[in-house]
Every structure is written in C-alpha cells, then in structure tokens.
Amino acid sequence: MAVEKRREGETIVLRLSNGPVNALSAGNGFVDQIAAAVDEAAGDPACRVIVIAGAGRMFCGGADIGDFDGAPTQVSRVRDVIAAVEACEKPVIMAIHGMALGGGLELAMAGHYRIAQAGSRLGLPEVTLGLLPGAGGTQRLPRLIGAGAALDMMLSGKPVTAEQAASSGLVDRLVDDDVVEAALEVARGAPPLRRTGALPVPVDLAEAVDARRAKLRAGLSQAPARIVDCVAALSDDLAAGLALEARLFGELMRSEASRGLRHAFFGERTVARIPGLAADVRPRDVRRVGVVGGGLMGTGIALALLNAGVPVTMVELRAEALSKAEAAIRKTIQRDVEKGRIGQDAADARMAAFTSATELEALAEADLVIEAVFEDMGVKKQVFSALDAITRPDAILASNTSTLDLDAIAALVADPSRVVGLHFFSPANIMRLLEVVRGRDTAPDVLATAMALGKRIGKVGVVSGVCDGFIGNRMFEEYLRQVYFLLEEGALPQQIDAAMERWGMAMGPCRTMDLAGHDIGWAIRKRRAVEQPDRPYSGVIDRICELGRFGQKSGKGIYVYPDGRTAQTDPEITRLIEDYSAEIGLQRRAIGDEEIVGRCLLALVNEGAHILEEGIAYRPVDIDMIYLHGYGFGRERGGPMFQADLMGLPAVLDRLRALAAGRNGWAWTPAPLIERLAATGGRFGDLDFQDGNAQ
C-alpha cells in the first residue's frame, strides 16, 4: 500500500497503489496517505499541476467495502480527501485506466480534468451493495452529465465505457495510449481549474427525478429511492446536498439489505478459496471437455461450456437423442444471435468447438469428462468403468450426480483421486450455481481444476463434501418438509408462496416444485419412508402426485397452468388439502406469514448447522452462496446462515426449542452447533472453517 510520487518537471504524479483494485481504504491508513500526498503537492512551490493515476490494473475500484462494517467515520475520510482535491488551488488531472468505480469515480469527478484510456470503464455501482454513492457522486455526476443520465448510471449500477463517458462529458479526453503520458501533456499546457461542485444544477433535474421516482419498485433495499432523493435535493448549495447524501449513506450502510448485499459480494469471492489447499497446487489444463449424456442436463452443460469458449465433445449412445441434443444446442446459440447477444461469427465459433459421437472412445483425449447420464447407480457405474479404460490416466472424471454417493462411483475407477462431482443446476447454461463435490479421495489439483473450470464458465462454484443431496438439496428437503406440514395444518399454497416471495425468495416453494417437477421428490420420499420411518413427511403432497399432477410439465401440479406457464390456484387442490387435514384429524388453523417464513427459514438454518458440523460445507458463507445462486434466496437477505446471525443465535435456539415442543417437534431438534454458538455468544459468521468443519 503506497501513494507513489513522481516528479515530472512542474507536475507531480501520484499513483494510487493499494492491493488488487486500489480501494480507498481508510482502515489501513491509505486514504490518509492520499490526503497527505495531495496536501504536500498542493503546498509544494515547485509543483504547478497534480496528476492522480492508479497503479496496476486500474485507477480505483472504490471505497473499501470492508471498511463499512467498522466505524462510519471511515467513509468521511474519503469525503475529506475528495473535498481537498476539488478545493485544491492547483489543477488536478485524473488519469483513468482500467476501472474507476464508486468512490474511485467520485474521486475522479472531484478532479479538474479527466482523461480516460479507451476500453476503461467508469461507474457508480453502490446500488448493487444497497448503498448510494456516498462521497459526492449523487451531487457531482448530474452536474457533469445531466440528471437523467446520472440517475440511470446510479440506479442501474452499470459502468459506462470510456467512449460513452467521453461523449457524455464525464471525461474530458479519451486516449488510446498511456494515460499518464497524456495527462503530462495536458499538464504542460494550461489545464483548467474547473470545479465540478461549482457547476450549475442541470436543467433536466425536475423532469428526470419525477420520471425515475415514478418507476421505483418496492423492495427491501431503499437505495434506489434514496439515490433519487439525493439527486432531487441538488441545489447551488453543494454542502447541503453532500450533507444529505452522507446522512442517507449512513442509514443505508446500517440497513439489512446493504449488509446482506455486502455479505454476498464478499461471499462470492470467499467461496472460490479452498481452505487448506497448499499454495503450490495448480489447476490442470483443460482444453477439451467431454460430456456424456445428451439429455436436458448434458445439453445445458455443453452449452455452458461452449458459451465460455470451452471446446466440447458430447457422447450420447443413442444416435437419435444425440441429434436432438445437437439441434437444441444449435437452436439456443442461434437464439442468442437473434436476440443480439452475440454475432453470427461468435455463434459459428461456438458450434465449431462442438463435436459429437455415439461412442465413449471419442473421449480418449479429453482433459475432463462430465458424466450427465440417467440418475441411476447401475448406469453411472457402467459409464465410469468404461471411462476409466478409455480416458487418459490424467483426465479428470466428473459426475453430475445430484443424489448418488460420489465415493461409490469413484471406487470403480482405478485412480479415484481423479474423480470429482460437478453438480450443475438446471438449466445448466443459465443457473450460476455449481456444487463442486469433493470425494474422499479427490486430489487437491482435481478440486482446484473443477473450481477453475467453474469460474471460467461464469459459475459460482462452491465445494461440498459427500452426503445425500449435498448441501443445497439436503437443506431444501427440510424446507419442503415444513412447506408440506404447513399445508396440512392450515396454509394454502398461494399463501405460502406469496409470503416467501414477499420476504425475498425469487419463487415460492410450491411454484418452484411445480417447475422442477414432483416426480423426483416423490421417489425420494418413498425411499425415505423406508430409510427414515421416524421422519415422516406430510402425505398431502403424495396425494397430489397420485393424481399424476407432476407440475408444469404435466400441465398441472399444485397449481394449474392454463397457458402452460402461469400458475393459477386450483379449487380442486384447495379441497384436496382441506380434505387431507380432515382425514388426519387436524383442525385447520390460520397461519400467519411470519410463521411461514420463520419455519421455512429455520428449517434451512438448522440443517445448515448440521452440514457445517459434519464438515460437508467449509464455511457458513458457502451455504449462503449456494442458496443465493441455486435456490433464488433473495440476495438482499444474504443467505440463511447470514439471516440466523442477524436474528442472533440465542433467539434462533429459543425458536427451535419452542417448535420442538410443538407438533412434529422431532423435526426441530436444535443442531448441537447452534446450541454451542448460542451458549458462547458466537455467530456463524465468525466461524473459521476448522471450527465448524470436522475434516
């Protein structure tokens, strides 16, 4: 961490250097260093112009998000530096390359002249963290580019290109070559001392504010509304606008939504780190991937790979199924062309990277093979035994199984260390979650390769140990158990779905199961009835399955789908549910949303705690990211384990105990980890992976 200072004639160049993104960290003293360097240059009689640039990959990625959990005064130090830059009596030129985001762009806007390198991107993404630009962005950006354009940038959080920034007036000059050299050239002339904060209020202010306010949607995050409030307050009194912005930023920073979104930001990066992996472990090279199975899953996996430029050889033993898969792949890629997402050249390149065969021998040279055949141990065993003989001994063999024992599959391979699980979620080309299953013998570099491949194809890879259902589906089973109990006790599907969706799930559980199809769940419940007779489910869902109502794909499930897509309440199902309650002698009762949400959430938390204790998940945040990216858990809610921490584990334990004393109390025995943490004042978020991880 340093502010590197270089003198070029009468110009002082200050290069910000603080880790990968030059974050404006107050906690480690970096912001103070910038302040001191600017102050020194401003007072240096031999210095006429100051240039501020970034070292490494970018200008600056913003204020340090990690600071926000500490003292709120950290951000005020960033504001002080920005104010000092704008007030400086010597021209300050901002030389932007790579990225200028959040506080980084706010710093740049306080400069008197901005030069950006072509290809760089500039944005105020604070809204994606449940925040508003809190270091002058709401007051300076509209003055530079107009209120409408500024609101669009701040409300979407999406960066603009340097080219767009140059045409909107956000930057003064666009250059292809070295941006600092260009800044020095400007410095040799007579750079202006134009202060953004002194520019007039834009003329489109009232109209832009009204239009954006009318489009605000209700949600947990208040950030969009507060951004509009700040822009609406724009006046000639810059200080008043900045004071309002600072106050509202502080409120948002403490909000649940921002805390959840920040947890998600860091969580997505944390899950990529495999605890305990030796520093010298390198992922293997993956140049061609084999996909075995041309069903829905295999097709989606092949698409996910091809879309990221990974060559694929698909093997499907049935020629007819293979041509169907190939046609589906071609059609999906072509649809991306029609929708303008990619050009025809890119589509052709994707198809050129695809080869197919009806014999496994075609995979002899693949670096990694993903098996996506029918979910049956006998079938999987056949495929793995064959792959063991055909593939190169250093090729990685991955199974897409969602329920079977990966270690039993690996046992069929002479070297089980090359076997790993890659559990994609359907549709595999769309869903971002990838559970990377580490078997008992999976080699560290095989695990690292699986994670690297996940990243390469744009997935959020999360490592899971081997257990029935892995992390996500194992927890989901407990969630559904409560949903079905709620149905027999008095709730109706539409009420449960509405409660969960209002709370923040992308889709309520009944609609989700209608979409996923009930047949697999039914088969699992039949198996469980034998394996775990002491953990019965409500029979109400089986009654629905017995009618052949397997969900959207059969036209009917818990709901009906007159147009094939939109769920509509079915009086027949309401009657079926009410009759079922009567049949088991249960007096239906009114169940409030709070109970619905509470029970569904606590079921996830309690099972999540077991999973941590058994070492199936490394860290609580791994569970949270699985739920955000695979199960539609609201990003602003951070994830189930994060929610448990917000509630406080003593409160979680009290509720579990109260539920354990009620109907079907056996399902609520508190996980020992929760009891332990509640007793010691601990939080899931403070767990090191060894604390909760048995391995």
Contact pick of 41, 65, 325, 500 for ligand 3HC (by CB under 6 A): 65
Q: Which of 53, 82, 122, 135 binds ligand 3HC (CB under 6 A)?
A: 135
Q: Would you count residue 622 as binding ligand 3HC (CB under 6 A)?
A: no
- Binder of ligand 3HC out of 93, 99, 368, 560 (CB under 6 A): 99
Count of chain residues binding ligand 3HC (CB under 6 A)? 26
Residues in the chain: 695
Report residue 60 CA to chain centroid gap. 22
CB-based contacts of 552: which residues, under 8 Å, 6+ apart?
514, 515, 517, 561, 564, 565
Instruction: DSSP letter for 669, please.
Output: P
- Record the tokens describing residue 254, joined without a space: 């403490």
Q: Quote the CA–CA distance of 320 and 272 in Å, as a whole number.
A: 39
CA atoms within 13 A on the CB side of 433: 25
Taking CB under 6 A as the rule, does residue 23 contact ligand 3HC?
Answer: yes
Residue 104: CB minimum distance to ligand 3HC, A: 7
Pick from 35, 51, 53, 102 the residue near ligand 3HC by CB under 6 A: 102
Span near ligand 3HC by CB under 6 A; candidates 132-140, 178-186, 416-424, 430-438: 132-140
Answer whether the bond into residue 427 is a cis peptide, omega within 30°: yes
Binding status of residue 92 toward ligand 3HC by CB under 6 A: no
Cα gap 651→205, rounded to integer Å? 47
Measured from each CB, the residue nearest to ligand 3HC is 102
Judged by CB under 6 A, the residue of 54, 111, 130, 133 near ligand 3HC is: 133
What is the CA 411 to chain-centroid distance, rounded? 34
Tokens of 284: 């293997």
The region of 18-26, 48-56, 455-463, 636-644 touching ligand 3HC under the rule CB under 6 A is 18-26
Rounded to the nearest 10 degrees, the angle between the axes of helix 256-270 and helix 238-253 is 70
Determine if 621 is a binding residue for ligand 3HC (CB under 6 A): no
| 99 or 315: CB nearest ligand 3HC | 99
Q: Which of 8, 86, 126, 477 is catalytic?
A: 126
Residue 569: count other Cβ atoms within 10 Å of its Cβ: 14
Q: How many CA atoms lie within 13 A of 81 on its CB side?
A: 26
Which of 12/621 has CB closer to ligand 3HC?
Answer: 621
H or E element, residue 123: strand 121-123
Our CA angle for 403, 669, 438, nearest 5°, is 30
The secondary structure of residue 556, as a DSSP letter, is B
- Shortest distance in whole angstroms from residue 133 CB to ligand 3HC: 4
Q: Is 106 a catalytic residue?
A: yes
Instruction: Give the range of 84-92, 124-132, 346-354, 501-509 binding ligand 3HC by CB under 6 A.
Output: 124-132
Q: Which of 438, 423, 284, 307 is nearest to 366 (CA)?
A: 284
608 binds ligand 3HC (CB under 6 A): no
181 backbone dihedrals φ, ψ, rounded to 5°:
-60, -40
Smallest separation, CB 675 to ligand 3HC (Å): 32
Sole window of 58-66, 326-334, 344-352, 485-493 interacting with ligand 3HC (rule: CB under 6 A)? 58-66
The C-alpha atoms of residue 557 and residue 571 are separated, in whole angstroms, by: 12
Q: Which of 4, 86, 89, 106 is catalytic?
A: 106
Residue 368, beta-bridge partner list: 289, 396
- Binding span for ligand 3HC by CB under 6 A among 130-138, 429-437, 481-489, 672-680: 130-138
Q: Is 531 a catalytic residue?
A: no
* Of the residues 8, 44, 47, 66, which one makes contact with ligand 3HC according to CB under 6 A: 66
Distance CA 579, CA 575 (A): 6
Residues 262-321 that bind ligand 3HC (CB under 6 A): 266, 269
Residue 126 contacts ligand 3HC per CB under 6 A: yes
Establish if 137 lies at the interface with ligand 3HC (CB under 6 A).
yes
Q: Select the span of 94-102, 398-406, 440-448, 599-607 touching ligand 3HC (CB under 6 A).
A: 94-102
Q: Does 64 engage in binding with ligand 3HC (CB under 6 A)? A: yes
d(CA 123, CA 141): 10
Sheet of strand 11-17, all strands in order from the earlier edge strand to the far edge? 2-8, 11-17, 49-54, 92-96, 113-117, 173-175
Which residues of the chain form contacts with ligand 3HC (CB under 6 A)? 20-21, 23, 61-66, 75, 78, 99, 101-103, 106, 125-126, 129, 131, 133-135, 137, 266, 269
Among all residues, which ones are annotated catalytic?
Answer: 106, 126
